[in-house]
Structure formats: structure tokens, C-alpha cells
Structure 1
Amino acid sequence: MKKRILGFWEIWNMSFGFLGIQFGFALQGGFMSRIFQTLGAEKDNIPLLWIAAPLTGLLIQPIIGYLSDKTWHSKLGRRRPYFLIGAILSSIALFIVPHSPALWVAAGLLWVLDASINVSMEPFRALVADKLHESQRSYGFVVQTLIIGIGTWVASNLPWLVNYLGVSNEAAPGIVPMSVKIAFAIGALVFITSILYTIFTTDEYPPEDMEAFNKMKAETKGHFVRDIIENIGNMPPTMIKLGVIQFFSWFAFFTMWSLAMPALTEHVYNAPAPVETAFNFQEVAQQTAFNVANKKYQDASDNVGSAMGVYGLSSMVFALLLTFYASRKRVNRKYTHMASLILGGIGFISMYYVPDPSYLYISFILIGIAWGSILSMPYAMLSSSIDANKMGVYMGLFNMFIVLPQIIAAIGGINYAYKLIGEETIYSMIVAGICLILAGLANLLIVNKKAIAYTID
């Protein structure tokens, strides 16, 4: 099928649902560790509590990709049915999570939330490849990254903003502050609204031969496991090489999402989360001491969340610059991605040396450049290297290279790695920096010219 060249606003509309998806991920990534600590989690156990996120991605994304490749709804098309289902479930989960009465409830709800977000997210990657001519793939994924950057920045600042508007960020021991609860509720509303916007403003190309499409569905019915195994065995070499880059990239960012909050509140703000068992609440002085320590921690958490939001803003600016460039000229995806990841690695390592909390913003600006590239360049390279008829399933399988490093990190990889350097949690950020630099250098493995920079013959 000959695909027409789309205008900016058409690409914007088809990608706008990612605003809601990123609200979900940013609130999850920036504040789940805060919720876990508030509910009594010890910091070394936090990565394990996060294991829900990569495990659900490992299971959900290939399944949704496979199913969406074989779906055609007369009104909603191929990918949009999954957008809608995921958005409804994600919005419900976002609203409920900060109201968790116990740690195990919050950990369980993280499974539900991440699974639901993944149902919506995977088809969005495939939709860009479905709709756009290969010459526009870099442009399309960069526009998507621009919207993701906006979502990350706004969502990461929501608890701070809600507190600034007068809602308290203090609460009794074991209770999540109201400012966080309201922020998650706003995130739920944005999630469903933005997904609906894309559904109503974007159509999809139907199968070229509906009879052949239906025949293919019938022939492959019940062969899910076999087909998945075959597709794994037949991965293009470029996809495997990109997997190496993704492995180190996502180990680094999972480390940030799970441990940046305790690492930075302790090292930069000198405000660790107070441990309830260390206080005797029967004594007024001890209760007062806890309240003071908790207030200091909650304020520091707001500031860390706000600083983390800068990486979303930075990725947005980076994506905007790439959008203008990619709309007019070729983007050398390989060297763009390599330089971006190395800058992000420097950003992580610099956290150890910041003399003042305000310098954290510089660290997160550099990290945002890496994040903007991670969300666009690998997918642009991949989409030019795989069979268009298997776009959904391969985009889903590509997620293995995202979730496997996170699973390894969650079950002890982060704790083991950073404790090789020292006991302080801030060393986990140095490990993240080293991983991003290794990911950047791994781009030298990519030699497929079509993946590096697609040109119209």
C-alpha cells in the first residue's frame, strides 16, 4: 500500500494519546517509590516491589502486538481497540493506587496499572509505523517523543503544583499525602481524555486484501505460542543489536525510577524517609520528631519529583529540535542516539557531585536528552528493519530488551551493582550513568544503512 505523506497535525493527533500514557508512567516512575516508602518499605526492597512493571510488560506487549496485528474492527480499526481498553483500566488504577491502605496493596495495584498502560502503549508504537511512509518514521517517532516529554514534565510536577495550590503534602504515618492522591486523579483524567482524542481524530489503513487477511487469521488461530517462538528465532540482526543498546539503557532508567527518590532525598537534600519503628509515638517529643522528619522528607520528595520532571522537559525540547530537523533532512539515527546516551550517562554520574540541589536540574537536562532519544531513535531504526506485516508483534517482542534488564535490576541487580562501589544509595545513580555510556557505545554495532538513515530512492 502506498502511504501518503502526513502533515504535522495529523502525526500530532495520532500520537496525542501518548500524553496520557506518559502521565501514567511519569506518576508511576516518579512517585511509586515515595508511596512504597510512605507505606513502610525499606529502600533496598524497593526495586523488588517494582518488579511488577517489567514482568507485566514482558507478558503483555508481545501478546497485544500479536493480537493487534490480527485485529480489524469496522469502526475502531486495528490498534485503537487496545488503546481504549488500556485507557479505561489505567485510569481506574491510577485513581486507586495512592489510596492503598497497605504496602502489599500498592505493590499489587502496580501490577494492574503497569499491565493496563502496556495494553495502550504497544499499539501506539505500531500505529506510527502503520500510518507513516518510511521516510517519515524518524519524524513520527520524534513527534511522539515531544508529546511524551510534555507529559513527563507536567505529570512529574503535579504533586508539587497541587501542594503549591494549597493541598497539604503532609499526612499521618503510613498515609499517602492528599497532594499525591489528587495528582494521580488528575493523571487518570488526562489518560482517558488524551486516548479518546487520538481515537476520534485518527483513522487506520484497512488490510489491502480483507479476504486474505481473514484467511490468515483463521490459519494462525490457536498458534500464538508457536508464532511467537518462530518470530523470536527469526529476529533480524539489527533488532538483536538494538537489543544490546536497549538492555543497558533501560537498566539505567529503571535504576533511576526505583532508587532516585531515596538516593537524592538522602544525598542531596539530607532528608531520608523516617522509619516508623525508630520512633515511640506514645511520647509527644518522639511524635513531633517524626512529624518534622516526615515533613522534611515529603518536601524533599516534591523537589526531587520536580527535578525529575526536568528530564521530560529536556526530552521535549530535544524532540522539538529533532522534529524540525527530521521534517527537512535525514537524521543519522546511530550517531544521534550514541551521543545522546553518553550525555545522559554523564548526567547520572554528575548527581554524586552536585554541590547544591539546584544543580540537579543540569543532571536531569542531560538525562532528558538521552530519554528523548531512547523513545524515538531505536524504534525508528527498528521499524526500517522488520517486516511491515509483523510490525505489532516485533514491536512487542522488542519490549523484551526493555523488560529483561529491569527484571534483572529488580531481583537484586541494582543493589549488587551499586554496593560494589559503596553502601550509599547515591552510588546507584553512578551505576545508571555507566550503563548509559555503555549503551551509547553499543550503537557502533549498528551497520544496517537503512536503519541508520532512511532515504527516499
Structure 2
Amino acid sequence: MFKKPRLNFWQIWNMNVGFFGIQFSFGLQQTAVNPIFSFLGADHADLPLLNLAGPVTGLIIQPIIGAISDKTWIPGWGRRKPFFMIGAILASLCLFAFPYSSELWFAVGLLWILDVGNNTAMEPYRAFVGDKLADDQLTYGFQMQSLFVGAGITLANFSIFMFQDWFSDPSVSSSICDPTGETVSSIPTWVYYSFFLGAIASIITTVWTVVTTPAIPPSEKQLAELKEFNSKPFGTRISEPFKEIVGAIGDMPKLLKDLSLVYLFQWYALFIYWQFITPMLRRSMFGISNEDITKLEGIKETCMAGGDIIPADLGFAERIQNMSEQALAQTGLMNGTYNFVTMIVALALVPIAAKVGNKLVYVTSLFLTGIAMFMLPFIQDQWLLLFPMILFGIGWATMMGVPYSMVSKVIPQERRGVYMGIVNMMIVIPMFIQTLSFGPIVKHLLNDNPINAILFAGTSFLIAGFLALRLKVSNQYL
């Protein structure tokens, strides 16, 4: 049996650098995309459905790309690198275009393409880490990946906060109409800069990993199997990944089955947070009601139709628009904080997990994140709001590393790509359920109140924590 060489710190570092760019893109999705939808006229109850792109593309793209990459070998590139390079290029092009969206439908369409790019890159990258590392380095490797997850999303979010402070001009960016009565862009100009920075980061960091990190070549037996597969008719090769996915699900280890139930509540809750944190802040921190938003949109529509707007209404609209931009900037500060904490504690969790076990660390993280959700709606101070983000950051660091370490130890090497794709299906299916179900829930059961949505997310995290207590983890001290 082939024994993988042990890698040093800088080799594992270089291998994970590309994750920084991918996660910068995800950071913008988490923080900026939903406010952009709101700037373009979307109601907060519509946000779950408008985010359907994420779970659908993740459900379709990641397991298929994972299965295909298992059967791929390109000299000089390996199995996985072609896929996350293609994904990074596609994501970068979308990031450049996104802030120029003039209509809601255009922004939603770009989100679909952006998610295709990110998901094409994501799963092969996780499989790449598993390909390169021996079992006793997996926790270290995936926690290093968590470090870059935190770093990428941190910079994405802090850039939003800083650019709003540096470049926001209330007399321009928050205007509803210019002096001639023409409509100005609904998306603040300062938001553009974060997207441009993300597009550049996605390409540069992915190229870094491609250039610095060689893939482990397959054995002669594996090469023969790949040649045999590639000699099959095209239709067979296309259908084989689907058969592989179905077969792998049938053979799925019990740990993955139990983890899927934990993930149902964990990722349902995370998607609620990312969609509703800015609407919650508009309500809890700035006192903006649903009626205020409705009035703002009415004034915008009157302006777009060329109607006259009295000075009082124009002043009201500019004030609400400006506070909405401040809520987005505050979201950037908060999300940047929890991801900065993730970056700091990611590697520190490795010795802790080795001492007390992956399971205990994971369960604790879910409870801490649930507590953070319950605290958020009751804090109005900009800086005190960062305390629950510390708890959230510890939880996010664990969620992005420890479960993958547990899973990697129970899945076969030759099916690593497809199983990492199935793990992603366990993420996107709860997101898919959330996008279809939570709009009616928040509108009809939660009093159309984004504060109640965040409290609902906290309850879901606590349920996930109790379910995680049931996980049977083998070799949990490795």
C-alpha cells in the first residue's frame, strides 16, 4: 500500500492558499449579495428563494465534479487542480460583473453562475487536501483550510466595512434621484471595490496553489484503471459518475448518515443567519420597520417613473437608504470578526481536538453558535455586537474543519472525491429546504420579523448540538 509522505508546514500552507480566494467569494455571497438584492427591491421574505442558486448548484455540481475528478489524471495538473482553476476563473468573471447589476433578475442570474464556479472549485479542493495528506495529518490539513476559510471571508467582510467608511458619500451613494430627476444606481459605489478585490484574489491565490503544490501521481494500477475508464464510450463516461454517486450513497458509512441529520439543522440555521443578519440589524440596531422599507421602495418606484418627490419624502428615503448601507457595513464588521476568530483559532483546535476528541469540540461549537444567535437581537451597540461573533467564530472554525477530519478517516481513498461531494450534498440539501420553506415561515409564523428569524436559527443550532452527541466517532483522538 502506498504511504503518503509527510508534509511540512509550508507545504500544507501552499496547498491551502487557493482556498483564500474561493472563500473571499463566499464571504461576499454571505454578506453583500442579499443586501444587494434588497437594494434592488427584494423583500426580506423573498431572500431565501432568491438564494436557491447555492443549494441547487451545490447539489448538482459538487458530487458530479467530485466523481469526475476521481477518474481524471492530466500530467502536470493531476486530478483536482484543473477543476478548481476553472471554477476560480468563472467566479472571478462573475465578481467583476456583479456590482453592475441594474435589475434584480440580472443579479440573481449572476449568482447562479457564480455558484457554479465556486462549487466547481470547492469539492475538488477538499478532495485535494485528502489526496495529499496521511491520516495523522488530516486534522491539521483541514484546520489549516479553516484558517484560510477564515482569512478569505474576513478580508471580504472587513473590506465592506472599511470601504463604506472610506468611500461612502451620503450625498451621492444614498441618493434616490440626482438633481435632474435621473435615477442613480441602487447599489452603492463603494460596494464595487470589494467585488473587484475578490475577483483578483480568486485568481491569484488559486494559481499559487496550482504552481506550488504538485499532485501525487497515480500508481500503475490506478493509471491502467483510468485508461480503461477513458476508453469507454462517451455516454458511459457521462453516466458513470451518477452511478458512482448512487452506489456511494448506498455504501455510506454510518458516521456520515448520522452526521447528515446534524447538518440538516446546522446548515439550515447558517443559511438563515447569512440571509437575515442585515435585515435583523436594520430592525434591531437602526429601528427600520417593514413599513419604512415599503415606503422607501415606493419612493424609488415613483422616481424611476419620473414622478415628483416632495423634499420630505426624498429626505426620508435618503435617511433609510443610508442606514441600510450602515447595516450592511455593520454586517461586514461582524462577519469579518467571526471569520477573523476562525482564522486565529483554527490551528489551535488541532491539539485541543487531539486531547479531548473531535466529537466534544464539535458539539461544543454548535452550542456556542446557538448561544451567539440568541444574543444578537438584544444588543444595539456596534462594538458589543462583536462578542457573540467571537463565539460564532469558534463554532465556524470547528464546523469548517473537524467534521471533514472525522469523515476523511472513514471513507475509502479511491472514492474520496465522490464522498466529499456527498458531504457537500449533506450541506446543500438543508440549504435547499431552507430556501423553499423559510420564506413562508418567516412571513406567516415568525410575524414577518427578521429578529425572530435569527432566534429560530439559534434554536436550530442547539438541536444540531444535541444530535451531534449521538455521533459514533472512531479514532476520534487522531
Give the structure-2-normalised TM-score: 0.90
What are the within-5 Å matches in structure 2 for residues 290-439 of structure 1? 290-323=317-350, 329=354, 332-413=357-438, 415-416=440-441, 420-439=445-464
What are the within-5 Å matches in structure 2 for residues 234-245 of structure 1? 234-245=251-262
> Is 1:182–2:193 an aligned residue pair?
yes
Mapped to 1, the partners of 2:90 and 2:204 lie a distance apart of: 13
Check 1:123–1:267 CA distance in 2 against 1; reply closer, same or farther (3 A cut).
same
- 1:418 CA displacement: 8.0
- Extract unaligned runs of 5+ from structure 1: none
Structure 1 residues 88-116: Cα deviation after superposition (integer angstroms, max 9, x where no partner): 00000011111101001111110001110
2:477 to 436, 449, 453: 453
Residue type at the aligned position of 1:135: D
Structure 1 residues 21-77: Cα deviation after superposition (integer angstroms, max 9, x where no partner): 110000111011110000000111111101111111001001110111011111111
Mapped to 2, the partners of 1:103 and 1:96 lie a distance apart of: 14
Structure number with larger C-alpha Rg: 2
2:227 to 214, 217, 222: 214
How many aligned positions are there? 451
Mapped to 1, the partners of 2:59 and 2:377 lie a distance apart of: 32
**Contact 2:375-2:388 within 8 A present in 1 as well:** yes
Residue type at the aligned position of 1:278: G
Give the structure 1 partner of residue 106 of structure 2. 105
**Contact 2:138-2:405 within 8 A present in 1 as well:** yes
- 1:243 CA displacement: 1.1
Mapped to 2, the partners of 1:50 and 1:423 lie a distance apart of: 18
Structure 1 residues 315-354: Cα deviation after superposition (integer angstroms, max 9, x where no partner): 112203124656xx45611111000111011001111222
Mapped to 2, the partners of 1:374 and 1:82 lie a distance apart of: 24
Give the structure 2 partner of residue 252 of structure 1. 269
- 1:151 CA displacement: 1.2
Check 1:241–1:414 CA distance in 2 against 1; reply closer, same or farther (3 A cut).
farther
Give the SS at the match of 2:347. helix
Mapped to 1, the partners of 2:168 and 2:284 lie a distance apart of: 27
**Contact 2:41-2:297 within 8 A present in 1 as well:** no
- 1:172 CA displacement: 4.3
Mapped to 1, the partners of 2:200 and 2:378 lie a distance apart of: 39
Residue type at the aligned position of 1:249: Q
Give the SS at the match of 2:410. coil
**Contact 1:274-1:297 within 8 A present in 2 as well:** no
297-306 or 251-260: bigger deviation = 297-306
- 1:285 CA displacement: 2.3
Mapped to 1, the partners of 2:75 and 2:413 lie a distance apart of: 21
**Contact 1:418-1:425 within 8 A present in 2 as well:** no
Mapped to 1, the partners of 2:438 and 2:40 lie a distance apart of: 24
> Is 1:34–2:29 an aligned residue pair?
no
Residue type at the aligned position of 2:423: F
What are the within-5 Å matches in structure 2 for residues 62-211 of structure 1? 62-168=63-169, 170-173=173-176, 175-209=186-220, 210-211=223-224
Check 1:135–1:331 CA distance in 2 against 1; reply closer, same or farther (3 A cut).
farther
387-396 or 149-158: bigger deviation = 149-158
Residue type at the aligned position of 2:298: A
Mapped to 2, the partners of 1:400 and 1:61 lie a distance apart of: 8
> Is 1:278–2:298 an aligned residue pair?
yes
- 1:358 CA displacement: 2.4
Mapped to 1, the partners of 2:397 and 2:406 lie a distance apart of: 15
Residue type at the aligned position of 1:434: T
Give the SS at the match of 1:356. coil
**Contact 1:122-1:396 within 8 A present in 2 as well:** yes
Mapped to 2, the partners of 1:221 and 1:38 lie a distance apart of: 45
**Contact 1:85-1:120 within 8 A present in 2 as well:** yes
- 1:409 CA displacement: 0.9
Mapped to 1, the partners of 2:356 and 2:77 lie a distance apart of: 33
Give the SS at the match of 1:235. coil
Mapped to 2, the partners of 1:308 and 1:244 lie a distance apart of: 26
Mapped to 1, the partners of 2:389 and 2:122 lie a distance apart of: 24
Structure 1 residues 122-175: Cα deviation after superposition (integer angstroms, max 9, x where no partner): 111101110000011111100100111111111111122123333547244452
351-360 or 425-434: bigger deviation = 351-360
Q: Matched residues, percent identical?
A: 35
Check 1:10–1:414 CA distance in 2 against 1; reply closer, same or farther (3 A cut).
farther
- 1:417 CA displacement: 6.1
**Contact 2:55-2:428 within 8 A present in 1 as well:** yes
Structure 1 residues 232-275: Cα deviation after superposition (integer angstroms, max 9, x where no partner): 22211111111112111111110011111111221123245744
Check 1:418–1:284 CA distance in 2 against 1; reply closer, same or farther (3 A cut).
closer
